[in-house]
Amino acid sequence: MARRSSSGLTDKVEINMTPMIDVVFQLMSFFMCTLKVVAPEGDFDIRMPIAAAAAAAPDDQQVPPVRVKLSAGPDGSLASIAMNGTPVADFDELRKRIIGLVGADSGPNSLAEKTEVEFDADYALKYVNVVKAITAVSGKVENGQVVELIRKIKFTPPKKG
Amino acid sequence: MAKRSGGPSNTEIDMTPMIDMTFQLITFFMFVMNFSEAEQDDRIQLPSSQIAKPADGVIEKPITLQLTNAGSVIYAGELVAVRDIGAYLEREKTLMIDENREPNSATIIVRADGRAKTGEVQDIIRICQEKGFERFALRAQYDDRR
């Protein structure tokens, strides 16, 4: 029997798709099962050498630190805020006071860059309040853009009791 | 002409749109898959902040300490008391010195629960300072609500 030549008629090659579809579905199931939706996280960078070492290295360009006292209520909630001994109503006011102190300029060599904020929080205070306070002093959101304020942050040593 | 009845009808299904869509789905899942090695634990409810922007670069070999609501530290998947982390940090420090790295060049990522006591976070920082670590990254959930 003569072999049919490919000259006139075109052969229809049937590809078996089943294994490919199987693998593709397996891959899809794998990715669907391993998918973990993660909320974006950000950091507040703090450079805090041990107190003795910091005291040994005086800086003539240093601006006196701003002391923010955060007091806790009996259940660990925020009872009061004070900046350099003066009571502050809330975190928005704290931000306004910080802007009033260092100005809106946060560029290089600005007062905002040189100023250091020291947080003195009560031991039992819930940490969420400290993050709110750090947020208030570190910057503000203006027209969807973050404007940086204070970059140097430190904590007083923990006081138990 | 009479319609042919009986006998198996050879119906050809066009698979192309389905395969297209499946490949699109696979691509989507591959993109959204989190390949980062950042340690995260569902037991920690991070406080949120609008200012805590995700870091631009990758922190090289960080040490992650996660403080739970109950006051324990999750270190490398293990639950450790705050006062005991010093021994683990000492081990990290030895490893770093073996690799010719200074402890003060390493970043300690503190993922503390919003309900935890601030004093415990300060205790962690103090213990780290005593071991020679001085760079800290206080982690918060980035909240982009305006």
pLDDT in tens, chain B (146 residues): 444 555 556 777 888 888 888 889 888 888 877 665 566 777 888 898 888 877 767 777 888 899 999 989 998 888 899 888 989 999 988 988 888 888 788 889 999 999 999 999 999 999 998 888 888 989 998 877 65
Structural domain includes residue B115 = yes
8 Å CB contact of B136 and A47: yes
Structural domain includes residue B17 = no
- What angle is formed at CA A107 by the lines to CA A104 and CA A109, rounded to 5 degrees? 110
User: Given a cut of 90, is residue A126 above it in pLDDT?
Assistant: yes
Model ipTM over 0.85: no
Structural domain includes residue B19 = no
Tokens read off for A142: 């203006």
Tokens read off for A118: 């020291």
What pLDDT shows up at residue A148?
Answer: 82
* Domain count of the fold of chain B: 1
B24 touches chain A (CB under 8 A): no
8 Å CB contact of A146 and B53: yes
Structural domain includes residue B117 = yes
8 Å CB contact of A42 and B140: yes
Closest residue by Cα to residue A22 from B18, B17, B27: B18
CB contacts under 8 A, B 55-74 vs A, are 55, 67
Could you read off the pLDDT of A83-96 as tens digits, one per residue?
Answer: 988 898 888 888 88
pTM higher than 0.95, yes or no? no
Domain CATH for A103: 3.30.420.270
What pLDDT shows up at residue A44?
Answer: 86
Closest residue by Cα to residue B125 from B114, B134, B116, B112: B134
DSSP B94-117: HHHHHTT--GGGSEEEEEE-TTSB
> Which chain B positions have a beta carbon within 8 Å of A158's beta carbon?
119, 122-123, 126
Task: Classify residue A128 by burial, with Cβ atoms within 10 Å: 0-12, 13-18, 19+.
Answer: buried
User: Given a cut of 70, is residue A58 above it in pLDDT?
Assistant: no
Structural domain includes residue B128 = yes
Q: Which residue has the higher pLDDT, A17 or A161?
A: A17
What pLDDT shows up at residue B42?
Answer: 77
Domain CATH for B109: 3.30.420.270
Structural domain includes residue B27 = no
Which residue segment(s) compose the domain that A70 sits in? 65-155
What pLDDT shows up at residue B115?
Answer: 92
Q: Which residues is A121 bridged to in the sheet?
A: A70
> Which chain B positions have a beta carbon within 8 Å of A17's beta carbon?
15, 19
Closest partner CB to B122 (pick from A27, A50, A158): A158
Which residue segment(s) compose the domain that B68 sits in? 48-142
Average pLDDT over residues A98-121: 80
* Domain count of the fold of chain A: 1
Q: Which residue of B has its CA nearest to A43?
A: B139
